[in-house]
Amino acid sequence: MTKYPDYIRQKAIQLRTEKNMTVGQIADQLKIAKSTAYEWTKGILIPRTQTQTEAQRQKGEMIRKKHEKLRHLAYTQGLEEAPELLKNPMFRDFVSLYIAEGSKTRRNEVAIGNSDASVMKMSTYWLRKYMNPERVIEYRLQIHADHADEEVKAYWAGILNTSPTKVKVIRKSNSGQLGHRNFRSAYGVLSVRVFDTYFRARLGGWMDYLKKLWLYFDEDLE
């Protein structure tokens, strides 16, 4: 560290305590290294002024409202396009399945899991079709200790047309002493997940539209 005169150190402390300057501002003002300014003033906190706090609050509120508006637009889009999209029986099956088994706890996540290959192939198709192409699907496979990793990863990779290296294995915490037990889920339980806030909002519109059709279904018209 460069040796500076003591009065420079005192000036740095003064700028921090009296002017509430940041480390960077002090370094620029006194033409010293930021690391030096930090060492001299690291124990002196800058008080947050009311103006700073309000400005930060307003900025945060603007960002929140922006994303809330975008989510609302995506949800409205989902409601408006649902009547046409749901004419496709496979798409309708996907939305129905998601209502029953999909993850609905997070507004930025679309995720569904099952042990049935046909269910996961169909679900993954629609995720890929409507997700933001810049997002990445995560494949998480839950298996027993007695499953063979590479075999089950290769199985699901073949079903979903992806690389086995993209399938993350999560082992269930059993003893590993299952002998010759016949698994109900011979290839484990696969979950597919994508973090996509606006796809999730759009999916919310599809689900709500379909649920309203079910709610007002008249048995007499069957």
List residues bridging with 111 in a β-sheet: 193
C-alpha 190/C-alpha 120 separation (Å) is 8
- The domain ranges of the chain are 6-41, 60-221
- CB burial of 63-100 (b: ≥16 within 10 Å; e: otherwise) equals eeeeeeeebeebbeebbeebeebbeeeebbebbebbbe
pLDDT of residue 7: 86
**For residue range 63-91, what is the model confidence (pLDDT) as tens digits?**
889 889 999 999 999 999 999 999 999 99
Three-state DSSP class for residue 169: strand
Q: Give the model confidence (pLDDT) of 190-222 as tens digits.
A: 999 999 999 999 999 999 999 999 988 766 555
Whether the full predicted model's pTM is greater than 0.85, yes or no, is: no
Residue 100 and residue 84: Cα distance in Å, rounded? 21
